[in-house]
Structure 1
Amino acid sequence: MSARQAASSGSDSDPRYANLDERKRKRMISNRESARRSRMRKQKQMEDLVNEASKLQNENNQLMQGINAAHQRRMEMESANNVLRAQAVELTERLRSLNSVLQAVEEVSGLSMEIPDTIALLEDGVCLSSGVYLLLAWVFVLAWVNVIGGCWYGVCLMGVWSGRSCDVLGPV
């Protein structure tokens, strides 16, 4: 029998080997418990990371929804601004047209119909409000001019007179 076999077979009876076996057994139990705690820590870390990832994904989705809503509002505002710019250009052109008609009326009638605020607003590039614009247009519409041999013509500056499209009305 070898020394090893003798030591292992004799460990049951020898107290110093019994103490060694007890330490081995305690160490093995301690290692198992330590490994179990390590697995539990890793499992908890994994759960925490999954929860954090889910939380961040939800936050990311909310931010994306906010970005999309802001983008939609921006597009709507750009569209509204484009409409307003087009209206401003159209109103500026109408105002220039009204001023040229007013000048023609002044030349033909000899009456002064100067509206300095209108010219100043046009030169400053400031857009008239639609109410002021309509008021000025009707003031111009009401300016009748004796053009040819007693025939009176009404100048329609808004493009509509009594519900029909017109540039210049015939004799009244």
Structure 2
Amino acid sequence: MKRSALFAALLLASSAFAQPTLLKQWASSVLTRSSEYGKDTWGAKQALGEPNTMTYGDNGTAWAAATKNGVAQSITVGFAKPMYASAVLVRETSGNGFVTRIFAVDMGNGLHQVWAGPDKTQPNYTVNFIATFPKTAYLVKAVKVVINPDHDQNAYEEIDAVQLQGTKEP
């Protein structure tokens, strides 16, 4: 076998084992929300882009539901580039431990629950809660984060940012 053919065969074999590059992107649009405390401060748009709430507590630079306690609340955020998702990061800045479910939204607007369980993040610190799950077989264009506003009776549960993690390839 010639050197060039051997090199090509080795290159092909090694690419078969290559892992797709992990991509991360912050939410770029709000599709829906169950409620919001305000239009600007504590509004749903505060959950877009990179984190900008650096201190724990009640901050107008994070999204909060209209009421401190009550029924489950949710926010659905979109991403500029759909991807095959394997994780969602939720930046919690007040009342931590409140995420109960996460749904992926496919290209046809189908809703798929990808994570449910206890959110064990602790209060008093800004926390990047990361929910991991098997990579989706479909492109994800948005995620819906469902929260329990009764998790901490004395605090508003607040989200500063949401990030989608995954790959371009299935």
TM value normalised by structure 1:
0.25
Which is richer in strand? 2
TM value normalised by structure 2:
0.25
Which is richer in helix? 1
